[in-house]
Amino acid sequence: MASIDEVARLAGVSTATVSRALSGRGQVSDAARERVRAAAAALGYVVSSRASSLASGRTRNVGVIVPLLDQWFFSTMLSGASSALMRAGYDITLYNITADADVRREVFDTFLRRQRVDAVIAVAIELDEHETGQLLDLGLPVIGVGGPNPRLRTLSVDDTAMARLATEHLIELGHREIAHIGAAGEFEADFRVPSRRLRGFEQALATASIAANPALLEPADFTVDGGHRAAARLLDARRPRPSAIFAASDEMAIGALLAARDLGIRVPEDLSIVGIDGHELGEFFQLTTVDQFPLAQGERAAAAVLAQLEGQADATAAAALPYELIVRSTTAPPRS
Amino acid sequence: MASIDEVARLAGVSTATVSRALSGRGQVSDAARERVRAAAAALGYVVSSRASSLASGRTRNVGVIVPLLDQWFFSTMLSGASSALMRAGYDITLYNITADADVRREVFDTFLRRQRVDAVIAVAIELDEHETGQLLDLGLPVIGVGGPNPRLRTLSVDDTAMARLATEHLIELGHREIAHIGAAGEFEADFRVPSRRLRGFEQALATASIAANPALLEPADFTVDGGHRAAARLLDARRPRPSAIFAASDEMAIGALLAARDLGIRVPEDLSIVGIDGHELGEFFQLTTVDQFPLAQGERAAAAVLAQLEGQADATAAAALPYELIVRSTTAPPRS
DNA sequence: TTGAAAGCGCTAACAT
DNA sequence: ATGTTAGCGCTTTCAA
């Protein structure tokens, strides 16, 4: 591993000039810069982040906290954030806050305090007061994605409005008996998303003067299987059947779709189904959904963090995250 | 951010003793250790990884290279590796080698050479000669998972044997007309897994003296959609229909299953389907598969790396990665 | 525009 | 068992 001294010697300049030439900070003549570049390339020299970060206080590394990795939505957001940060030359260190409470505490008490990162992105995590305070105490740029947090700079999509949009789509098609598959106890603890989507659903019904019917609310855990079971209950032959289902995630919507197929109920002729998220499988199942572009959300979070680190105004900061109704083939007017 | 001097002062010892007490290296009296602990806790002191790594040469950070994030298999392995490393107090920095060739080159030329990591785990990446050399040049423990690489210490499951096992299961049930959905050109470039699974399929047929039939081979891209399209071609009414399909991944097997349903072909009565991987949706679809426990693979990779870092013999090193046939409800004897 | 030199906050010899 | 001290390899004043 070549060191800065060797580069300086080969280029015939001081280490200070090498540092300036390679980092782009401070004035360096074109000639010197070129010689330094050539020397560094010849030696295969790369600035040691250990030494550089100790001297400068900058690590070129961003911490990303995620609640789960093995779910499409989170890994897609991570993918977006990761590629944007890497393009900017930043490393990313990953803090996977799993179900394990000890690990979670360690992340906030220790891992994040090791001065390894210049900034933090917290993805879809509901932070409690104490954790939020710990994050703020780091004295670093912190940005949250999803789940508005009044004490943090947060990018979030309007879950209530998305749910309203999905429900309104069904209402406009003429549906009146609309069921909702969504939140359930345990899951709720970490994410308020489900309840916000339920609220949007209720708002849309109220605006259209459709009475809320508790029998048409089925809790589920945001998995395909959960959506399938919830739909099976809703579509039970012994009770009046809704003409449409709004599922609070595409995974649950897909589960509902498969449940309908199992029961010989045709979609969309006998039953309309709409989801939320923009899941990769939505195209395959021809699922109508409200897309929230998770890959782009990750990229936006990265851009916001980079803007703060580089001290520029973040042009996209104020704008709310976009979402869009994608009408495919699982929704249609009810029969007669 | 409190520094080591403040802790030393508060504990009434030198900074060297603080360092020793907190790192566990070297001899410290119980009394001193306790005072240091208390002082550190009182001040909220955490060792700065910047300073510590410069002085010691250790970063307590492992780099993980993955080819994709938004696919269940890779994110699951990452999840396993991540949780195991975090439990051992290690950070992980994530290098997502996307489709972008420039980013890929940068990772090997620059990112990995910044001396930010103590070791590298390369997940399911086919490295070319040059990249393998670059990894080795780092002078760090490197372990690969999946895709055997003769120059690297590698944990890998025997893809050929897994495919053989899946195919033998069909043969033992009495199937003779067995189709395979697997590799296709472009995908092949990065992963040799598909061709190894094809080989296992062919071996099992040969052992049972079943003639290979090129008409029963359909290339697909390892997605649900690809599996669906491949199965639709295989199940086309105008040609002789196989009695069983072995898909080289669970995602494709699920696609095939849905294609059969679309065509009114009953599974397993009219068609048996078996996959590979142990996908989370396998249970839901009652899919027969050969599970390769990707979460455990990630954990094993982490354990192997930690063993090398800590200089212990890795007890699990020699053992091949386990796999297991999980018989569920998509396979049965053919109809006479 | 460039160089000399003083740190950045730890760790690890070496001494005691 | 503990303290003293010389680095680790850079960055950044400060001076020239």
Same domain? For A147 and A164 the reply is no
Interface test with A, best of B86, B103, B229 (most A CBs within 10 A): B86
Same domain? For B145 and B164 the reply is no
Q: Would the Cβ of A24 be found within 7 angstroms of any atom in strand C?
A: no
Do residues A294 and A76 make contact, with C-beta atoms less than 8 angstroms apart?
yes
Interface test with B, best of A7, A49, A105 (most B CBs within 10 A): A49
Q: Would the Cβ of B50 be found within 7 angstroms of any atom in strand C?
A: yes
Residue type, B82: S
Whether A75 sits inside 8 A of B53 (CB atoms) is no
The strand pairing partners of A274, in sequence order, are A246, A288
Same domain? For B275 and B215 the reply is yes
User: Which chain A positions have a beta carbon within 8 Å of B106's beta carbon?
Assistant: 86
Residue A334 lies in a domain: no
Do residues A252 and A224 make contact, with C-beta atoms less than 8 angstroms apart?
yes
Same domain? For A165 and A250 the reply is yes
* B 250-269: CB under 8 A from A: 255, 261
Residue B139 lies in a domain: yes
Residue A332 lies in a domain: no
A268-299: string of b/e by CB count within 10 Å (b at 16+)? bebbbbbbbbbbbbbebbebbbbbbbbbbbbb
Among the candidates A256, A275, A291, a domain finishes at A291
Residue type, B255: G
- Whole-model pTM: value is 0.93
Compare all CA atoms of chain B with the CA of A294 and give the residue at the minimum distance. Answer: B70
Same domain? For B163 and B276 the reply is yes
Residue B112 lies in a domain: yes
Do residues A252 and A227 make contact, with C-beta atoms less than 8 angstroms apart?
yes
Residue A51's domain spans which residues?
A: 4-56
pLDDT averaged over 10-residue windows placed end to end, chain A, 336 residues: 95 97 95 97 97 97 93 92 95 90 94 98 90 95 85 91 98 97 57 86 97 92 95 93 97 98 96 97 98 96 94 66 97 92
Same domain? For B233 and B123 the reply is no
Q: How many distinct structural domains can be found in chain B?
A: 3
Same domain? For A68 and A171 the reply is no
Same domain? For B84 and B144 the reply is yes
- Residues 45-64 of chain A: which lie with beta carbon within 7 Å of strand C? 54-55
Instruction: Say how far B240 CA is from C9 C1', in Å.
Output: 74
Residue A336 lies in a domain: no
User: Which chain B positions have a beta carbon within 8 Å of A69's beta carbon?
Assistant: 75-76, 78-79, 82
Whether A110 sits inside 8 A of B46 (CB atoms) is yes
Same domain? For A82 and A128 the reply is yes
Using CA of residue B8, residue B12, residue B16, residue B18, what is the dihedral sign? negative
Same domain? For A104 and A85 the reply is yes
Compute φ and ψ for B178, nearest 5 degrees.
-110, 125
**Omega into A322 within 30° of 0, i.e. cis?**
no
Q: Which of A44, A93, A225 lies closest to B91 in CB terms?
A: A93
Query: According to the model, what pLDDT value does residue B314 have?
Result: 63
Compare all CA atoms of chain B with the CA of A73 and give the residue at the minimum distance. Answer: B70
Q: Which of A169, A175, A171 is nearest to A335 (CA)?
A: A175
Residue B328 lies in a domain: no
Torsion of CA A292, A293, A299, A304, to 10 degrees: -20
Residue B281 lies in a domain: yes
Same domain? For B233 and B277 the reply is yes
Same domain? For B244 and B276 the reply is yes
In tens digits, what is the pLDDT along chain B, a chain of 336 residues?
A: 899 999 999 999 999 999 999 999 989 999 999 999 999 999 999 999 999 999 999 999 999 999 988 889 999 999 999 999 999 999 999 999 977 889 999 999 999 999 999 999 999 888 899 999 999 999 999 999 987 788 889 998 999 999 999 999 999 999 999 999 997 534 444 458 888 999 999 999 999 999 989 999 999 999 999 999 999 999 998 889 999 999 999 999 999 999 999 999 999 999 999 999 999 999 999 999 999 999 999 999 999 999 999 877 666 556 689 999 999 999 999 987
Distance separating alpha carbons of residues A170 and A327, to the nearest angstrom: 11
Among the candidates A291, A309, A331, a domain finishes at A291
- CB count within 10 Å of CB A43 equals 16
Size (chain A), residues: 336
Nucleotides of D under 7 A from a protein CB: 1-5, 7-13
**Alpha carbon of A271: minimum distance to chain B alpha carbons (Å):** 18
CATH number at A229 reads 3.40.50.2300
The mean pLDDT value of chain B amounts to 93
The strand pairing partners of A61, in sequence order, are A91
Residue A327 lies in a domain: no
Q: Would the Cβ of A43 be found within 7 angstroms of any atom in strand D?
A: no
